[in-house]
């Protein structure tokens, strides 16, 4: 069931990226990169074993946390 939910979430996010490209064509490169990563991640999750998927879930979780911290620091310092 988790795979189906992930697939649905991926499709939903891809639709949002398409809408974003339509409203702001200048974001097309970033949206295409994000869409590619979503498709690759969803495909890898859909077709791989549970043990290896768990390892990558943890890596992605910590990567997201690290990126959020970097964003916060950059926002605090006035870079963004």
Which pLDDT belongs to residue 71? 92
Confidence of residue 5 (pLDDT cuts 50, 70, 90): confident
Would you say residue 13 has pLDDT above 70?
yes
- Distance between CA 31 and CA 13 in Å, rounded? 10
Note the pLDDT tens digit of each residue in 37-61: 888 877 777 776 777 667 777 888 8
Which pLDDT belongs to residue 3? 72
pTM: 0.53
Domain boundaries in the chain? 1-47, 50-80
Confidence of residue 70 (pLDDT cuts 50, 70, 90): very high
Residue with tokens 């939903």: 12
């Amino acid at each position: 069931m988790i795979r189906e939910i992930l697939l649905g979430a991926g499709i939903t996010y891809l639709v949002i990226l398409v809408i974003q490209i339509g409203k702001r064509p200048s974001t097309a490169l970033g949206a295409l990169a994000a869409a590619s990563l979503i498709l690759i991640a969803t495909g890898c999750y859909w077709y791989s074993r549970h043990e290896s998927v768990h390892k990558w879930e943890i890596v992605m979780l910590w990567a997201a946390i690290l990126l959020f911290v970097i964003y916060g620091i950059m926002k605090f310092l006035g870079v963004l």
